[in-house]
A = this chain, B = another copy of it.
């Protein structure tokens, strides 16, 4: 079943390949984006390693390659509610895929201004979407990209279920109550915090207004290309390797190619969930095909393929590329070591067959990195955003033992 889908944040790392994939599947796709990711590149003095065409070029090339039109609505949903309403009334989408949030944890901790921007942009943007759907009385399925990071990493040994947790509570009278509660969150950055707050808004608007909402708690994305972005060099997806926006595996691959030690924060004992960008776009399509009913509670899927310890990833990449590993200070405030067990049963039941980390795929990404290695800025690599005054940036020290 094809749908009319509005991809908010459709110019970004996940949004762009999602828009193309949904368009390739025959959906009528439009992109809404304020191009803030390009503005933040300018602010940080950095660019995607892969050269990103202008949004106009991207869409023209997609039209040439696929024969399909994707319209662009250059709107700031957090601060121009009337424009947002006008787009929704004009497009009248069956579904919204909502990536239109500041999505980097380190950026969100970079400065007071970045913290405040992340809260203001993400909360007002998400709330404006919800308020507009209610005001216009539209029946739109809202699919939101959350993050596994909302759950926190307390190593509790409890498998993280998909959004809801069955608990037993002893009442004051000694009776035992069984309840299904929203999984308690423990976000580890202002960015993750906003995704937890988003989820509270979803719960309210689903309960009060019967909105149909799916929240996808996604793992750390790795990779860069998808079937569609490979179709033309001008469709290429972002590859961020900097300390703020570069996700850990992509940073390791970049470091391996340019001969920089792989910088592991702390002990590297952090266990995290991962997913390939190709799987991101497939999972979104699955979520769109399986909306909740009206007045059903918010659907939550864990959009995750597998979990790994960061130091094991570093060892894997180092082994393939002959790189060294450097343990640096951890700029984050987090447990040095944690366990993480995640259920992805909902997506698997719906046919999701995860792409797992394999040497071959990693080698393919390193090929892309090699191709564009002359665009790399060495000063962009270290993680300089720190979580508290006591934390230090993840920078290799002069004369430090790099083993």
Contact with B along A137-167 (1 / 0, CB 8 A): 1000000000000000000111100000111
Q: Does A312 touch B at the CB level, under 8 Å?
A: no
Q: Does A95 touch B at the CB level, under 8 Å?
A: no
Q: Quick check: B177 and A157 within 8 Å, CB to CB?
A: yes
Q: How far apart are A127's CB and chain B's nearest CB, in angstroms?
A: 5
Q: Quick check: B137 and A116 within 8 Å, CB to CB?
A: no
CA distance A179 to B387 in the complex (A): 26
Q: Which residues of B contact A135 (CB under 8 A)?
A: 112
Q: Quick check: B171 and A200 within 8 Å, CB to CB?
A: no
Q: Quick check: B119 and A132 within 8 Å, CB to CB?
A: no
Q: Quick check: B177 and A200 within 8 Å, CB to CB?
A: no
Name A209's closest neighbour in chain B (CB-CB). B388
Q: Which residues of B contact A158 (CB under 8 A)?
A: 169, 171-172, 177
Q: How far apart are A388's CB and chain B's nearest CB, in angstroms?
A: 6
Q: Quick check: A116 and B123 within 8 Å, CB to CB?
A: no
CA distance A171 to B203 in the complex (A): 25
Q: Which residues of B contact A189 (CB under 8 A)?
A: 208
Q: A156-B177, A185-B200, A200-B185 are in contact. Are A116 and B127 (CB under 8 A)?
A: yes
Name A119's closest neighbour in chain B (CB-CB). B127
**Contacting chain B: which of A14-22, A190-198, A360-368?**
A190-198
CA distance A63 to B294 in the complex (A): 58
Name A130's closest neighbour in chain B (CB-CB). B115
Q: How many identical subunits does the complex contain?
A: 2
CA distance A208 to B197 in the complex (A): 17
CA distance A223 to B186 in the complex (A): 38
Name A116's closest neighbour in chain B (CB-CB). B131
Q: Does A170 touch B at the CB level, under 8 Å?
A: yes
Q: How far apart are A136's CB and chain B's nearest CB, in angstroms?
A: 9
Q: Does A372 touch B at the CB level, under 8 Å?
A: no
Name A160's closest neighbour in chain B (CB-CB). B172
CA distance A388 to B177 in the complex (A): 31
CA distance A197 to B389 in the complex (A): 25
Q: How far apart are A177's CB and chain B's nearest CB, in angstroms?
A: 6
Q: Which residues of B contact A137 (CB under 8 A)?
A: 389
User: Can you pick out 25 interface pairs between chain A and chain B where the beta carbons lie within 8 Å of each other?
Assistant: A81-B112, A112-B132, A115-B127, A115-B131, A116-B128, A119-B123, A119-B127, A120-B120, A137-B389, A156-B177, A157-B175, A157-B177, A158-B177, A159-B171, A166-B170, A167-B167, A167-B168, A168-B170, A187-B200, A190-B204, A193-B200, A197-B197, A200-B200, A207-B333, A208-B387
Q: Quick check: A182 and B184 within 8 Å, CB to CB?
A: yes
CA distance A185 to B165 in the complex (A): 14
List chain A positions with a Cβ less than 8 A from chain B.
81, 112, 115-116, 119-120, 123-124, 127-128, 131-132, 134-135, 137, 156-159, 165-173, 175, 177, 179, 181-182, 184-190, 193, 196-197, 200-201, 203-204, 207-209, 333, 341, 387-389
Q: Quick check: A124 and B116 within 8 Å, CB to CB?
A: yes
Q: A112-B135, A181-B184, A208-B388 are in contact. Are A172 and B200 (CB under 8 A)?
A: no
Q: How far apart are A273's CB and chain B's nearest CB, in angstroms?
A: 16
Q: Quick check: A169 and B171 within 8 Å, CB to CB?
A: no
The 3 A-B pairs of least Cβ separation, nearest first, read: A167-B167, A159-B172, A181-B184
Q: Which residues of B contact A172 (CB under 8 A)?
A: 158-159, 341
Q: Which residues of B contact A197 (CB under 8 A)?
A: 123, 197, 200-201
Q: A159-B172, A201-B193 are in contact. Are A81 and B116 (CB under 8 A)?
A: yes
Q: How far apart are A326's CB and chain B's nearest CB, in angstroms?
A: 26
CA distance A134 to B124 in the complex (A): 23
Q: Quick check: A119 and B124 within 8 Å, CB to CB?
A: yes
CA distance A333 to B115 in the complex (A): 34
Q: How far apart are A152's CB and chain B's nearest CB, in angstroms?
A: 9
